[in-house]
Structure 1
Amino acid sequence: MSVISKIQFDIMKRRKLFFTLSTVLTILGIVSLLTLGLNRGVDFKAGTTLDITSQQTMDRAAVNEILSKAGYEDVNPTVGGKTASIRFDKVLAQEETEKIVSGFKAVYGEGISKEENTVDVQLANELALKAIYAVLIASVGISLYVSIRFEWRFAIGAIVSTLYDAFLVITLFSLFRLEVNLPFVAAVLTIVGYSINDTIVIFDRIRENQRFSKLRNEHDLADLVNKSIWQTMTRSINTVLTVLIGAVCLWIFGSEGIRHFSLAMIFGLLSGAYSSIFIASPIWFVLKKKTIGTGRKPAAAKD
């Protein structure tokens, strides 16, 4: 019994459903970005981040009171243990920084240390532009690699699914108002790598099975793609789960600085597994089926 005969779920038959779902999510993302935009961190907009460290455990209410007395009631600090991380939407002058530090010293004693990071408007815009360039260059590189190793139809499927993964993560961060910073960009680039890895595994199996298959019609081609996907399904699931467990552990037990990185990884890993199976492969199928039957037709059956 062939592998395809054991399959209860025909992915190619339901490709329009997945295309529709992906299109709806893409439109939702576009609307979200146009209306809500991104919650840009200090890396991508002018501002100052203060990391205050004390020899005593800090209390969030006490930190809020210190900031309120210094004239910053709307600031939302991140307090954990003996460290408080505070982001300001403007570049603080030296006098303003010293006033805040003095407030912490008045409550927690002289054993206070600070780490200050400031980004001006020009640098923030430059970082944002370079982040966009990084994602685009990675996408172009992937297209060239897949085109050389496989064929242009595979490249189109790979690039669409990869850009979808990156865009979906950006959409989720926009909807949930999560902070976008340089670790987020690193997460997106990592997601691109994992996504293309899953896609290449499926494409490689499709190419291998194609060598030993006689594709007479669209049904044969659909069987080929379904068969290839299900043959690599176990590997894809195991790979994603292995990395996903690590990303979830980082999100739960990691520090505040890498929490958004790990959350972006979680979103991207799930999206990458979905897009490799339900976007990249069906796109190749749609493009490839147009060539079926364009060559020499089989002889007509005798009566």
Structure 2
Amino acid sequence: MKFDFVKRSRYFFIFSIAITILGIAMLGIFGMNYGVDFRAGSSVDIAVKKDMSGQKEAIEKFLADNGLGQPAITVGASRVTMRFDTVLDDAKERTLKDGFAANFDKDASAEVNTVDVEIAKELERNALIAMLVASLGIVIYVSIRFEWRFALAAIVALMHDAFIVISVFSILQLEVNLPFIVAVLTIIGYSINDTIVIFDRVRENLRFAKIKKPSDLDELVNASVGQTFTRSINTVLTVAVAAICLLIFGSEAIKLFSLAILIGLVSGAYSSIFIASPLWLVLKKKQKPKTAVKTPAAS
């Protein structure tokens, strides 16, 4: 593919910076909609034998009448999910199970998962540590295999991808839970794989190129990205098709996971092609030229 990625990289940088600033503003305004995994509360999953579609208002009335509060409710054809901001004690849990069976489906099977404050804080802390360790491992790996400029460009691209997904979930106030963290780590893996393929081509072309002026580096990056462009797009499209199918046909439990993967795939392809390599080029051009060591003339 013949396209001047380097010449237009300024517009891609501006676009990404604008998206980042918008994301920071949205996070400051809305924050994240943490699920039960990251805050104290109870999660109730009820498997039903009959179609419960259209029963959401009736379920909400039943909960209010029995002093069970107003949880977030998702009603599907064969499953009802409730997310309580408070921990259900044994009495309320029994009231919920018995009342739901009596009023809606006597064959319903309910599973209650409770997370207290300390566990929620520990899960949040461990999730952050997992992402930091993954990022650090990527920096070390790329630094050893390539050089620190490649590593810095790669980690900026990865942070860009993760932040895009986080910003979208913040703006839409979608629930952030453990599957979301798994999705972000998966996105990091796909993105770094795509970025490494492009960097490997850059390094290979750099090995045989004769760089005499800055424009030669521009041509090298354009050629390297162009040579891997089709491969990058085909890889993303293949995985995106699977993510779209999971989003459309999957259960409620994995819909947000699938959505996060889909957003991250698009963002990852964009950053690998339009951000990572041009950023490496900017860093490379700032490298001080090596000065030749003069040997004293023989007398």
TM over 0.5, shorter chain: yes
Shift of 1:27: 1.2
Match of 1:200 among 196, 203, 210: 196
Shift of 1:109: 4.6
Shift of 1:241: 0.2
Tell me, yes or no, if structure 1 residue 18 matches structure 2 residue 12. yes
Q: Which position in structure 2 is the counterpart of 1:169?
A: 165
Match of 1:242 among 235, 238, 242: 238
Match of 2:36 among 42, 54, 61: 42
Percentage of identical aligned residues: 54
Q: Which amino acid aligns with 1:111?
A: D
Tell me, yes or no, if structure 1 residue 275 matches structure 2 residue 271. yes
Q: Which position in structure 2 is the counterpart of 1:133?
A: 129
Give the distance between the partners of 1:209 and 1:292, measured in 2 at CA: 21
Q: Which amino acid aligns with 1:31?
A: A
2:70/2:84 contact within 8 Å kept? no
2:60/2:70 contact within 8 Å kept? no
Match of 1:111 among 107, 115, 126: 107
Tell me, yes or no, if structure 1 residue 184 matches structure 2 residue 180. yes
Aligned-partner SS, 1:111: coil
Q: Which amino acid aligns with 1:54?
A: V
Aligned-partner SS, 1:291: coil
Q: How does 1:153-168 map to 2 (within 5 A)?
A: 153-168=149-164
Instruction: Deviation per CA, 1:53-78: give whole Å up to 9, x if none.
Output: 23322232332232232234632311
Instruction: Deviation per CA, 1:220-242: give whole Å up to 9, x if none.
Output: 10000000000000000000000
Shift of 1:294: 4.8
Q: Which position in structure 2 is the counterpart of 1:301?
A: none
Instruction: Deviation per CA, 1:121-164: give whole Å up to 9, x if none.
Output: 11001100111111110000000000000111111111110111
Q: Which position in structure 1 is the counterpart of 2:58?
A: 62
Shift of 1:293: 5.3
Give the distance between the partners of 1:53 and 1:291, measured in 2 at CA: 61
Give the distance between the partners of 2:179 and 2:144, measured in 1 at CA: 31
Give the distance between the partners of 1:17 and 1:201, measured in 2 at CA: 23
2:68/2:92 contact within 8 Å kept? no
Give the distance between the partners of 1:181 and 1:158, measured in 2 at CA: 26
Tell me, yes or no, if structure 1 residue 51 matches structure 2 residue 45. yes
TM value normalised by structure 2? 0.93
Give the distance between the partners of 2:145 and 2:108, measured in 1 at CA: 57
Tell me, yes or no, if structure 1 residue 150 matches structure 2 residue 169. no
Give the distance between the partners of 2:129 and 2:44, measured in 1 at CA: 29
Aligned-partner SS, 1:197: helix
Aligned-partner SS, 2:43: strand
Q: Which amino acid aligns with 1:247?
A: A
Runs ≥4 in structure 1, deviation > 4 angstroms? 292-296
Give the distance between the partners of 2:207 and 2:132, measured in 1 at CA: 33
Instruction: Deviation per CA, 1:93-143: give whole Å up to 9, x if none.
Output: 111111122221222353232100000011001100111111110000000
Tell me, yes or no, if structure 1 residue 288 matches structure 2 residue 284. yes
Most deviating of 236-245 and 14-23: 14-23
Give the distance between the partners of 1:153 and 1:92, measured in 2 at CA: 52
1:217/1:292 contact within 8 Å kept? no
1:216/1:292 contact within 8 Å kept? no
Give the distance between the partners of 1:205 and 1:167, measured in 2 at CA: 27
Give the distance between the partners of 1:14 and 1:112, measured in 2 at CA: 58
Q: Which amino acid aligns with 1:145?
A: Y
Most deviating of 287-296 and 140-149: 287-296
Tell me, yes or no, if structure 1 residue 252 matches structure 2 residue 233. no
- Aligned pairs, how many? 290
Give the distance between the partners of 2:269 and 2:226, measured in 1 at CA: 13
